[in-house]
Structure 1
Amino acid sequence: MTRSWWRAVGAVVFALAVVAGAVTVTRAASGTDASGSDASAAVASSAPDGSSADAGFARDMAAHHQQAVEMSFVVRDRTKDADVRRLAYDIANTQANQRGMLLGWLDLWGLPKIASPDAPQMAWLGGPSGHSGHAGGAGRADGLMPGMATRAELKALSEADGKAAEIRYLQLMTAHHKGGVTMAEGCAKLCTVGAERELARGMVDAQGAELELMAGMLKERGAMSGR
């Protein structure tokens, strides 16, 4: 487990480094760089369209990340296991930072943070009604994005304690990460903003490493990875 843990930590550090670099890019683009130059006009002229993969990914992944942060805070208070609490902290910290970056880009581009209710779900992935060749498709019949936990699952997590809470969290977060990787892979292929593509690639690497770590943690607890 030690090797998997450090691999996951390394991937998370890389993802945070990508975020830090993206912050620098965003600040420079918005005219807050050290030279004081105003690049706002240039950014506005090259901002992605509201229906683009860049905008769609930013909106959807921000919402996706929010649930991961919430689940991580829930399990923190439902178990005393140091490994699970550490993992939950890492996920909450990383995804809260990434969520802030995604929402910041939408502000910079002058685009709404919530998609129109009339828009096809996850249409940014391409194809009819947003479907593409990516595993997981463009959403689910229940209206949730790939990997998202249902209200009933969140309620069950909030009511569990100890080992039961750990297993529920690890299973829900495993599904959540798999859905997130599907979305991030889509952005890495379809997004046109370089910093956003790099952030998406960082998500794929970090969440992939955490998936391996969580598989080992579930095995230690005699549980399967399925929900």
Structure 2
Amino acid sequence: MSASGTRRTRWVAGSAVALAVLFAGAATIASARDEGAAAAPRTPSAESADAGFARDMAVHHQQAVEMSFLVRDRTRDEDVRRLAYDIANTQANQRGMLLGWLDLWELPKTAPDDQGPMAWMSGGHDSPDAGGPHDAHGSHDAGGSHGTGGTAHGGAGFAAHDGALMPGMATRTELARLGRAEGERAEILFLQLMTDHHKGGIPMARGCVERCTVGVEKRLARGMVEGQRSELDLMADMLAARGAAPRS
């Protein structure tokens, strides 16, 4: 892809995020009206699960978009490029909605000083994933091969390192490797990194389904779980077709 083509692609992605932010506010207002005009909707606090999920998943999604654009420039395989395009578009739009809600609620896009990433997932009732970010697809250390052993709630046991701020996120070193890889090597690394990414993101989305109070946000989180589980199955098949497997 030429430099001008790359710039044009990234401009389109940036425009998608901007449009998503614009429409997210309208969608939230419409949802609030649908859920009952008798009482004014409660604005979440900066410490709430609603705000925490919006902040953290926006960061998580941003890296997925970055990895998707990296692999589109490193392979000509149409199946991988199509998957990367779908992930980039879906997660850029969802990220725009999350950031739009924070704007609508007049809340900061960074966590309070006394809260780290995923602090909103600690306390309260736990899902079956409470012991760690394990999914129905099998036991998985959401830190991938980072050796950090993250958990689903509060990120206990996960130490941010080398740019990986939350379970499932790739490190700067891994992103650099993806940026240098070519062809099938790039395809396999992308599929492995994105598998880790989804397995780290699904417990976060489930946490919002359990803890968030804004109906439209809970529905978005539920859709993330369903969509990413489907993509996990697809990526497992794509890895197998290349004689590879998820990293753990």
Question: TM-score w.r.t. structure 2 length?
Answer: 0.73
List per-residue Cα deviations over 1:156-200 (Å, max 9, x = no partner). Answer: 000000000000000000000011101001100110100000000
Map of 1:104-115 to 2, 5 A cutoff?
104-115=100-111
Q: Measured at CA, do residues 134 and 55 of structure 1 come closer, stay the same or move farther in structure 2, by a change above 3 Å?
A: farther
Q: 1:134: how far off?
A: 5.5
Tell me if structure 1 keeps the 8 A contact 2:25–2:100. Answer: no
Q: How far, CA to CA, are the matches of 2:184 and 2:244 in structure 1?
A: 10
Tell me if structure 2 keeps the 8 A contact 1:134–1:186. Answer: no
Give the counterpart letter for 1:133 in structure 2. A
Tell me if structure 2 keeps the 8 A contact 1:66–1:96. Answer: yes
From 107, 112, 118, the counterpart of 1:116? 112
Partner SS, residue 158 of structure 1: helix
From 77, 88, 98, the counterpart of 2:73? 77
Give the counterpart letter for 1:216 in structure 2. D
Q: 1:26: how far off?
A: 1.8
Q: How far, CA to CA, are the matches of 2:93 and 2:196 in structure 1?
A: 21
User: Larger % of helix: which?
Assistant: 1
Q: How far, CA to CA, are the matches of 2:31 and 2:204 in structure 1?
A: 25
Q: 1:151: how far off?
A: 0.5
Give the counterpart letter for 1:119 in structure 2. Q
Give the counterpart letter for 1:175 in structure 2. D
Q: Measured at CA, do residues 184 and 30 of structure 1 come closer, stay the same or move farther in structure 2, by a change above 3 Å?
A: closer
Which structure's relative contact order is higher, taking Cα pairs within 8 Å and 6+ residues apart?
1
The alignment of Structure 1 onto Structure 2 pairs a total of residues equal to 196
Give the counterpart letter for 1:106 in structure 2. L
Q: 1:27: how far off?
A: 4.3
Instruction: State the partner residue of 1:25.
Output: 27
Tell me if structure 1 keeps the 8 A contact 2:72–2:84. Answer: yes
Instruction: State the partner residue of 2:6.
Output: none
- Where does the alignment leave 5 or more consecutive residues of structure 2 unmatched? 1-20, 134-150
Instruction: Verify: 1:142 aligned to 2:164, yes or no.
Output: no
Question: TM-score w.r.t. structure 1 length?
Answer: 0.79
Q: How far, CA to CA, are the matches of 2:132 and 2:228 in structure 1?
A: 16
Instruction: Verify: 1:99 aligned to 2:61, yes or no.
Output: no
Q: 1:117: how far off?
A: 4.1
Q: 1:142: how far off?
A: 2.6
Q: How far, CA to CA, are the matches of 2:215 and 2:172 in structure 1?
A: 35
Tell me if structure 2 keeps the 8 A contact 1:73–1:92. Answer: yes
Map of 1:207-226 to 2, 5 A cutoff?
207-226=228-247
Q: How far, CA to CA, are the matches of 2:103 and 2:131 in structure 1?
A: 28
Q: 1:48: how far off?
A: 0.6
Give the counterpart letter for 1:142 in structure 2. A
Q: How far, CA to CA, are the matches of 1:182 and 1:29 in structure 2?
A: 25
Map of 1:199-214 to 2, 5 A cutoff?
199-214=220-235
> Could you list the runs of 4 or more consecutive aligned residues of structure 1 that deviate by over 2 angstroms after TM superposition?
21-25, 27-31
Instruction: State the partner residue of 2:175.
Output: 154
Q: Measured at CA, do residues 30 and 200 of structure 1 come closer, stay the same or move farther in structure 2, by a change above 3 Å?
A: closer
Tell me if structure 2 keeps the 8 A contact 1:58–1:103. Answer: yes
Instruction: Verify: 1:60 aligned to 2:27, yes or no.
Output: no
Q: How far, CA to CA, are the matches of 1:28 and 1:191 in structure 2?
A: 18
